Amino acid sequence: MNAQKTNTILKAENISLNIGGNQILQDINIEIKDIVRPNVTTGQIVGFLGPSGVGKTKFFEILSGLLEPTTGTVMLGDPLEPVQAGMVGVVQQNYPLFSHRTVEGNLLVAAKKLYPNEKEAKEKMALMLDRFKLSDKAKLYPAQLSGGQKQRIAIAQQLLCSKHFLLLDEPFSGLDINMIQEVQELITEIANFNELNTVIIVSHDIVSTASISDTLWLMGRDHDSKGNVTSGGKIKHTYDLIDMDLCYEKDILSKPKFQDLLKEIRGLFPKL
């Protein structure tokens, strides 16, 4: 598809995290470059895969500026600047929303952060509701929404106040196969809203994450010969799915090359 990688839009250098003497993360270095495809508005999707307990959530908090690493820095944007809470939209696993606000209220409180003008904020909110096909739910409270609707509102809320980065924590957790496909399409659509959009997925669902990602990182830890953990979480393997010609398309799952990749990742998982 002639995709070209241009300038760096996210860079994490030497990230380590030690909590109470436990090495949670160790020497993580990642770099995400803007992907440009001629004549197409396209963002990108980055997947972080790893088994439970490997430190994915902590790394997620560091990337979003919610947690200070013991060492290292996270820079993002174009031009790059140190990350601060609010620069990255974060949708946690349980889709938190303000239960005391209606859908409209939830979106408006977020929109006002980027658009202090009330009228403009309301216009952006209405656009977002329309885009997510949830205009008829505007007056409802979160408790009146289904899990899928809550997820969409949580994503819409974050998109309204962050600029181009969105972190999704386990977006496929607990979903059936139809819902997974719906969420995958939603994530791809969000990534392609804007050329600079970058959606980062933290997950342990190999198939769902790999099939829509442009880049895939596998997080894991070092082990000794007896299988004991000897290091904090680190990036153990990187897959550039653009170079591998395995970017998202409807029938990606039927590609033998993609199936080989899944097999390889599944084989690596127990050792991570």
Rule CB under 8 A: which residues touch other proteins?
61, 64, 66, 85-86, 88-90, 92, 94, 96-100, 109-110, 113-114, 141-144, 157-158, 161-162
CB of 121 to other proteins, least distance (A): 13
Q: Give me the amino acid identity at 133.
A: K
DSSP secondary structure, 200-266, as one string: EEEES-HHHHHTT-SEEEEEE--B-TTS-B-S-BEEEEEEETTTTT----TTGGG-HHHHHHHHHHH
Nearer to other proteins, 121 or 206 (CB): 121
CB of 112 to other proteins, least distance (A): 10
CA distances to 28, 31, 157, 233 from 16, rounded to whole Å, are 7, 16, 30, 9
Nearer to other proteins, 34 or 169 (CB): 169
H/E element, 67 = none
The whole-angstrom separation of Cα 61 and Cα 167 is: 9
Nearer to other proteins, 42 or 64 (CB): 64
CB of 143 to other proteins, least distance (A): 4
CB of 86 to other proteins, least distance (A): 3
Nearer to other proteins, 63 or 235 (CB): 63
Nearer to other proteins, 157 or 208 (CB): 157
CB of 85 to other proteins, least distance (A): 4
Other Cβ atoms less than 10 A from the Cβ of 41: the count is 13
If you compute the radius of gyration of the chain from its CA atoms, what whole number of angstroms results?
Answer: 19
